[in-house]
Structure 1
């Protein structure tokens, strides 16, 4: 399927119902997976393409997640290490209508596969990212945050806690950085790289012992974008050994 046809297929599908995220270990055909070594791998899937419809996700030709809407992050799916065929289709379509069809290599660790970019390809092409999750133990009273820049029309940015030093600098689209910080409540200013007035700010609570991911999504200028989605921060708890009360989250302002 050509890139132009892929965009037409996605653009022609309307929004769906709430996500039905499937857990458990998928049973995959041997011809679709090449075994690797080590312990189990784990894969979560995040839909962060602002103008894409709900999607289904296939591994090795079998549906593992269905009707996944924008701003959704799945649970981790346990998998044997190896190489897998990853396909993404508009919700309800078969794998031969895949708009993403690629092989991914998974070792014995945790990963996130992220649908990024735009169906309209106005600012960024629609494509998947696959990145590992750092699950190493944390120091006492510390939290870990992995932050992705997935706002298609935003420039490189610095992320600066109010009243503190920059946490991440020069973060470009589709890039991410990871940092360990003292547990607590933060207001993060997102500003043009090198300084300037914040484009937006997010409140986030990080609990001791927890490992988080944050996804900056949406548009700086939603009125000129293919989807009317304001800048927002989606946060997830990916793992860890919590030592505080449950919590964590974020919102745009």
Structure 2
């Protein structure tokens, strides 16, 4: 088995400013303090995105306690700190007891999740309302790099490709409604993203373009929300892209000293000398260094497979 004590996995939470009123939201410094005080590594994080274009502002309740209030369309909340477990989660029209979503939700330990309130609430809509869960699991980009995922939450838009530079760079392809693309690493900077109907060659006619600014060392999701054709929709909520900053995971490799300490720690080794000055070493003493732990690099992302990871929230 790999020795997993050699790695520390750092979970960097990029908290987003928001005008939403919070009951249980916390900032990054509080997250750090709470993590350091916690020994069971049971903490998880969850945020809510309002992406239902015909729904009013909503409140979010967890086990009948209001944790987010007056979340309006196009808003993404801060991350909430939660212990792993199963909760009753309700999404209600703001200031009422009318629930558009009410269900048991299981939060796994040491996860970061975005819940998108998606689809339509009016009967004349073409898509049913649903709460869609996305894992915010990107690795922290390298220097002068940024990572981006495209999240399709526009109910009247077809499957899409997202490109840059007149189609020469493909950020995402064939992303369907209520799904998200994998994170891709790109140089940090300002871009004009081209949104096209999905085709085999990623060369469909550009439906709309969106200017995005991708910061160095940051992970982003681009949430496509609203209606492409609001005149034919239940609500006059035009298409837009909401750019968020997401949580990211950084893998820290052990130092040379830590590696040496691990390799030379040989419990049970004995050296005995008899009267004839003969030195023997107990055959039962073994030093093993597990070679199963491997580091793989995919583009600018580095992952290390280890066993008992320590997650530190920054």
Task: Bin the TM-score by the shorter chain.
Answer: 0.7 to 0.9
Correspondence for 1:39? 42
The residue correspondences of 1:100-249 to structure 2 (distance < 5 A) are 100-107=101-108, 108-121=110-123, 122-163=125-166, 164-177=168-181, 178-194=183-199, 195-239=203-247
Task: Compute the displacement of 1:238 (Å).
Answer: 2.1
* TM-score normalised by structure 2 residue count: 0.64
Q: Where does the alignment leave 5 or more consecutive residues of structure 1 unmatched?
A: 1-17, 26-36, 242-253
Partner of 1:22: 23
Larger C-alpha radius of gyration, 1 or 2? 2
Give me the CA root mean square deviation. 1.8
CA distance in 1, matches of 2:43, 2:186: 28
Q: Which has the higher contact order (CA 8 A, sep 6+)?
A: 2
Tell me if the contact between 1:23 and 1:75 (Cα under 8 Å) persists in the aligned partners: no
Q: Following TM superposition, by how much is the alpha carbon of 1:22 offset from its aligned partner in structure 2, in angstroms?
A: 3.2
Kindly indicate whether the alpha-carbon contact (under 8 Å) linking 2:228 and 2:239 is maintained by their aligned counterparts in 1.
yes
Structure 2 residue runs without a partner (length 5+): 1-18, 27-39, 250-314
- Cα distance in 2 for residues equivalent to 1:63 and 1:114: 17
Moved more, 133-142 or 176-185: 133-142
SS of the aligned residue for 1:151 comes to coil
CA contact (8 A) 1:209 1:240 kept: no
**TM-score, normalised by the number of residues in structure 1:** 0.78
| Deviation for aligned residue 1:61 | 1.1
Q: What is residue 13 of structure 1 aligned with on the other side? A: none
